[in-house]
Structure 1
Amino acid sequence: MIRYKFFLLTFYFILPIFHGYAQGKQHTVQVLSSEISILGTTNVNQFSCTLNESGDNEALRVSSNWDQKRLTFNGLILSYDLKGFDCGLKVMNTDFQEILHADEYPEMKLEIRIIHIPASNNQIAILEVNSDVSVQIAGVSRRFLVNEGRVINIAEDELIFEGQQQMKITDFGITPPEKYFGMVKVNDELTVSFSVRMKVETL
């Protein structure tokens, strides 16, 4: 089960989804679902491991203030059970867990800190954005600027935030493993992509 820790959530942009929400009012924010995928390669093939999670239906009460530059999140942390990822085959699931040291560090975490709204955006339903996120794997946290992101207005009170970032296994203190006496070698590069669906309600 995915767990969400939210201490304070502050919005800094009047997205179309927030029309009708007065500035300075408190809102209830509920994470409806999320999906995270980790894509990697070896010298002989590639792998893609995905986890889909539904929210725990616990409404989140937050304060919000907006401007035209960014959405700032303080404490938006999503935790994922590495043993819940599906890589397509059981043996690949086991290898994936070994690569990321799941026995010692059973969870990876994604913290969404800031979503930056470029001034060049002129879309309504879909905004191309940059975001400041942290990823924690094997107990090591690294901060990244994600340049490939979108905020999608899917309903009057719902949005999806998507992002994708390339990183390295060695960023997290993990040595890319070798198997079968060195015949199969995991490459250092990984791509992490995520999609988080949220509902916003005025208190």
Structure 2
Amino acid sequence: AVDVNKNSSLSINGSSNIVNFTLTQSSENFIQKNMIITASQNDKKLYLSENRLIVPVKRFTSSNKMALRDFYKLLKSDEYPTMDIQLNHIDLPENPKLATGVAVVDVTITGVTKKYQFPIKTEKNGTRYIFDIEKHINIRDFGLEPPVQMMGMLKVDEMININLKMICNIQPAESAQLNLSGSSE
């Protein structure tokens, strides 16, 4: 069983020639708090049963209201209200003691899907895990043009940084089944 901490979040960081900006969204908007996830391994690839995030675009927040408005407009949030992140699998490190891996994901923005490899860093303390998944991507990959404002004086960089930080309590299936034994399905 996986219990996702409310401090988990997805953030998008960008910059312009004038100011940097961060758009953030709590994982409560796109991840169930309690999940039963089945994991299977084939060679050095890990497959998870719960492997899709549907992220509502208009649930992002930012202290930079102009950047947020431009982000909604850039992603055509009325026409495409969600971004989809589909985990294909995780490539596990050769050395099992390393707390890293690579998530192979399909990211869909404005109806355009691109495959990426997102590095994963993992911290473990008992049953508490922190997964830090981060990648720079080019918005032009999705056919999007970086916004230009104020007659060209403000230009947004085409590179953005996507960061998914998940803080979870993970119990092995045996423990989870014991905890669920009183519930009916």
User: Do Structure 1 and Structure 2 share a fold, with TM-score over 0.5?
Assistant: yes
Q: TM-score range by the shorter chain?
A: 0.7 to 0.9
Distance (Å, rounded) in 2 between the aligned partners of 1:32 and 1:47: 25
Distance (Å, rounded) in 1 between the aligned partners of 2:26 and 2:163: 12
**Which of 60, 67, 70 is 2:45 aligned to?**
70
Q: Which residue of 2 aligns with 1:130?
A: 102
Q: Which residues of 2 match residues 33-52 of structure 1 at below 5 A?
A: 33=6, 34-52=8-26
**Which of 92, 116, 123 is 1:117 aligned to?**
92
- Residue correspondences, number: 170
Are 2:66 and 1:91 aligned? yes
Distance (Å, rounded) in 1 between the aligned partners of 2:159 and 2:133: 17
Q: Which residue of 2 aligns with 1:153?
A: 124
| Residue 89 of structure 1: how far off its partner (Å) | 2.9
| Residue 48 of structure 1: how far off its partner (Å) | 1.2
| Residue 94 of structure 1: how far off its partner (Å) | 1.2
| Residue 92 of structure 1: how far off its partner (Å) | 2.7
TM value normalised by structure 1: 0.72
TM value normalised by structure 2: 0.78
- Closer, same or farther: CA 64–98 of 1 in aligned 2, 3 Å: closer
Question: Contact 2:70–2:147 (CA<8 Å) still a contact in 1?
Answer: no
Distance (Å, rounded) in 1 between the aligned partners of 2:113 and 2:171: 29
| Residue 196 of structure 1: how far off its partner (Å) | 2.7
Identical positions, percent: 25
Q: Which residue of 2 aligns with 1:172?
A: 142
Distance (Å, rounded) in 2 between the aligned partners of 1:149 and 1:56: 21
1:17-67 CA distance string (max 9 Å, x none): xxxxxxxxxxx445455411111111222211111122434533x544446
Q: Which residue of 2 aligns with 1:194?
A: 164
Distance (Å, rounded) in 2 between the aligned partners of 1:95 and 1:175: 11
Q: Secondary structure at the match of 2:72?
A: helix
- Closer, same or farther: CA 53–122 of 1 in aligned 2, 3 Å: closer
Report the aligned-residue RMSD. Answer: 2.4
**Aligned AA for 1:43?**
N
Question: Contact 1:164–1:191 (CA<8 Å) still a contact in 2?
Answer: yes
